[in-house]
Structure 1
Amino acid sequence: MLNQDIVREATRLTRAGQLVEATALLQRMLRGDSARAPTARSAAPAPPARLEPPTIDVEPNVVEDRESRPTSQPRPVQGRKRTSPLDEMRKFSGFGLQGPIGRTPPSTSDIVPEGTRFIAGTYGNAAGSRTYKLFIPSGCQGQQLPLIVMLHGCTQSPDDFAAGTRMNFLAEEQNCFVVYPEQPRGANQSKCWNWFRTGDQRRGGGEPSMIAGITRQIMRDHAIDPKRVYVAGLSAGGAAAAIMGATYSDLYAAVGVHSGLACGAASDLPSAFAAMQGGGSKAIADGKTSVPTIVFHGNRDTTVHPKNGDQIIEQSAGAMRPTTKVLRGRVPNGHAYTRTILSDAGGRAISEHWNIDGAGHAWSGGSPAGSYTDPQGPDATREMLRFFLEHSLGR
């Protein structure tokens, strides 16, 4: 059976509620096995199932420091736990991460600098409602300030994401507001933004309308510069950030995507699985306005293939023919990286792609006070904020 036939059959099985059979078929395809679709005669009858948003619960990548191991010492081989098709299906949370069980919540001192405020709020519209946490810098004196919208990864919370990225501390330095919308378990059992559903990839509906609504509510209630509003995210939140840039280019001046996927990379469960493995179809960018975008991705990310970072950059450039500048560096006692800057004819940077050598699926340069961070990488938070403040709407 051809791969396109396999994906078509897996889609049919998913819609019929036969999730185990669909996953087993996709697994065989990706392994290169000779896959044969279940037939009506051979497949066991399955009762109608209520399809939950797909979940991907995977262990965070643990990247070994290659320089700390003598070259003569072989890399340890770890046993791999046998998994059933049902176990694989449970990995689909929109992707992301298995939450640290029993992890101690971050302390207030890890989340916000002293003398600042971190307040809770709620927004609702016809698509639903979402809570959020808003960081207000101490330098807020009524003047219009920038706003950064931060979309957490699977299993995370605003507090956890704020602690891991330390965005509030950098925002205090630069005098910016930061808002953290929260995805509830009722919308996705692993609290992932549903980036792979077509209904959540469109302007004016689904989750994009709620994220945009939160953004506009903050802009209405506080002194926000409407030309300096930005959106960023990690993993499923990174994919959601890419969607927001593609669908609300009149609202966001720039986008930051860490370990995510491009808008349109998937439209259902089978295509989401394929896209994350690097075998999905090219992301659809037709009819979408390009927005300046900065991307961070580890080249040893086994949750979301690094190829997806390339697709985000390609989508953000649109029909432009930018000039390219490549810089290389290394964090002291940490990861090496390649920074590719794309600029327009006027010399203005329209995108940056940070490819981090040896990094996995985690926020680069983040704090261990939060989950899914890699302190050995370049500081993604500082570089994203720097990139954001270089761009404004109308320029």
Structure 2
Amino acid sequence: MLDQNIVREATRLTRAGRLNEATALLQRMLRGDAAPSAAMGRAVRVGPARLEPPILDMKAHVVEERESGRPAKHASVLGHKRPAPLKGVKDFAGLGLRGLGRRAPPSTSDIVPDGASFIAGTFGNAAGSRAYKLFIPSRTPGRPRPLIVMLHGCTQSPDDFAAGTRMNFLAEEQNCFVVYPEQPHGANQAKCWNWFRAEDQKRDGGEPSLIAGITRQIMRDHGIDPNRVYVAGLSAGGAAAAIMGATYPDLYAAVGVHSGLACGAASDLPSALTAMRQGGAPGATMKACSPVPTIVFHGDRDTTVHPDNGDRVLDDLGDAKSREARVVRGRVPDGHSYTRTILTATQGRDISEHWSVHGAGHAWSGGSPAGSYTDPRGPDATKEMLRFFMEHSLSG
């Protein structure tokens, strides 16, 4: 249980701009230490206050699985030993919110298929500016092509996320554009999308306006089919993708949320920590992505973002009286088993899919070890998201 007195004190410190003190207070609480004097109304100086967004660095764990009667330890992130934390990134003990270890950047061959392009761009508006990387497929267009917006997780980059998901390689096969907006350190020290701030959960303002602006800029400059534009993300990026579906249902035809949270799951740092641990903060106002079709992937052993958050993303998606669900269970050869729940409207159109990956932690399902925070043991979230996207259009 979270100590509500400490949570309230952390909220007060956050609103006062004393974010380092709020962070230290929450760290002590999550470790189970005795409440520091700040919780009793006496200030604790832990360093100069820094007026920057709080860090919610949602990272994967090493998880235990049992195979053939023996505990088989593997890293759901990379399949390797856990890397050392990155200097300067906070470690929220008890939540597993750890920084990305230093590693060699992925090679070009891990990011872009032969003949295709991966170019840099920038977009700006009144809310600021964001860089992005754009994948352009090699084939000459015969008609306007689809666009997929991919939102990375904390500490990741467009190159890293592209390498881990291998979305560019599948997009080459489907002749799709893919754009990867980048969250800079200046917006969040750990490069997390600020999904937990109220001002970044609204249409035409904050980070949603920047992501939508990048989307529209690519649509305008590259002849994108306006009926086939999609958004997906991992962790903090998954939460941001849910926000985009809730705030721009006229722009995106479908949404993919991997290990993320629903729009409205939190409004500040303490409520974000509660939502991540418990699957929802008390009094939170969830905003389902309706009427945007949504596909969710979530590991049922995710101890960073509670698996119940995957269900909450799909809460109230469409009219409950006009839906029916069917369940498919399967297993990846030499990999994870899964339960796939498909929600279908009465007119026969699938409006959502929820993939619960059994034994998986906080990592992109079926991803490549060339990128960070991936679980190669599948099922292949990239393939299934792209398949789901291609089944939906705004005109459909």
Partner secondary structure for residue 315 of structure 2: helix
Match of 1:344 in 2: 345
Displacement of 1:359: 0.4
Q: CA contact under 8 A between 1:290 and 1:315: conserved in structure 2?
A: no
Partner secondary structure for residue 308 of structure 1: helix
- Between the aligned partners of 1:190 and 1:327, the Cα distance in structure 2 is 37
Q: CA contact under 8 A between 1:95 and 1:192: conserved in structure 2?
A: no
Q: CA contact under 8 A between 2:263 and 2:288: conserved in structure 1?
A: no
Match of 1:236 in 2: 236
The one-letter code of the counterpart of 2:372 is S
Give the aligned length.
379
- Pick closer, same or farther for the CA change 1:29–1:45 going to 2, 3 Å: closer
Q: CA contact under 8 A between 1:106 and 1:163: conserved in structure 2?
A: yes
The one-letter code of the counterpart of 2:296 is V
- Pick closer, same or farther for the CA change 1:186–1:215 going to 2, 3 Å: same
The one-letter code of the counterpart of 1:144 is P
Deviations 1:76-120 (A, max 9, x none): 8xxxxxxxxxx996549x99652221x111111111110111111
Q: CA contact under 8 A between 1:96 and 1:154: conserved in structure 2?
A: no
Match of 2:255 in 1: 255
Match of 1:81 in 2: none
Displacement of 1:282: 6.3
1:91-170 superposed matches below 5 A: 91=92, 98-101=99-102, 103-141=103-141, 143-170=143-170
Match of 2:389 in 1: 388
Q: CA contact under 8 A between 1:317 and 1:351: conserved in structure 2?
A: no
Match of 1:80 in 2: none
Deviates more, 1:13-22 or 1:366-375: 13-22
The one-letter code of the counterpart of 1:253 is A
Deviations 1:189-233 (A, max 9, x none): 111111111111110011110100000000000121100000000
Match of 1:84 in 2: none
Displacement of 1:151: 0.5
- Between the aligned partners of 1:128 and 1:337, the Cα distance in structure 2 is 41
Match of 1:210 in 2: 210
Partner secondary structure for residue 343 of structure 2: strand
Q: CA contact under 8 A between 1:122 and 1:131: conserved in structure 2?
A: yes
Match of 2:54 in 1: 54
- Between the aligned partners of 2:344 and 2:12, the Cα distance in structure 1 is 44
- Between the aligned partners of 2:45 and 2:368, the Cα distance in structure 1 is 49
TM-score, normalised with respect to structure 2: 0.87
- Between the aligned partners of 2:208 and 2:96, the Cα distance in structure 1 is 18
Q: Does 2:275 match 1:275? A: yes
Q: CA RMSD in A?
A: 2.9
Deviations 1:233-270 (A, max 9, x none): 00111010000000000000000000000001011010
Q: Does 2:227 match 1:227? A: yes
The one-letter code of the counterpart of 1:185 is H
Displacement of 1:21: 5.7
1:17-32 superposed matches below 5 A: 17-19=17-19, 22-23=22-23, 26=26
Deviates more, 1:30-39 or 1:135-144: 30-39
Structure 2, gaps ≥5 residues long: 74-87
The one-letter code of the counterpart of 2:224 is I
Match of 1:14 in 2: 14
Match of 1:370 in 2: 371
1:288-307 superposed matches below 5 A: 289-307=290-308
Structure 1, gaps ≥5 residues long: 77-86
- Between the aligned partners of 1:145 and 1:55, the Cα distance in structure 2 is 36
- Pick closer, same or farther for the CA change 1:34–1:387 going to 2, 3 Å: same
Q: CA contact under 8 A between 1:10 and 1:22: conserved in structure 2?
A: yes
- Pick closer, same or farther for the CA change 1:89–1:158 going to 2, 3 Å: closer
TM-score, normalised with respect to structure 1: 0.87
Displacement of 1:8: 3.1
- Between the aligned partners of 1:5 and 1:319, the Cα distance in structure 2 is 38
Displacement of 1:344: 1.0
Displacement of 1:140: 3.2
The one-letter code of the counterpart of 1:63 is V
Q: Percent identity?
A: 72
Match of 1:325 in 2: 326
- Between the aligned partners of 1:329 and 1:304, the Cα distance in structure 2 is 24
Partner secondary structure for residue 194 of structure 1: coil
Partner secondary structure for residue 388 of structure 2: helix
1:25-104 superposed matches below 5 A: 26=26, 38-40=39-41, 42-44=42-44, 49-57=49-57, 60-67=60-67, 70-71=68-69, 73=70, 90-91=91-92, 98-101=99-102, 103-104=103-104
Deviations 1:286-317 (A, max 9, x none): 59743110000001111111111010011534
Q: CA contact under 8 A between 1:21 and 1:38: conserved in structure 2?
A: no
Q: CA contact under 8 A between 1:313 and 1:351: conserved in structure 2?
A: yes
Displacement of 1:26: 4.8
- Between the aligned partners of 2:45 and 2:112, the Cα distance in structure 1 is 54
Displacement of 1:322: 1.9
- Between the aligned partners of 1:121 and 1:22, the Cα distance in structure 2 is 36
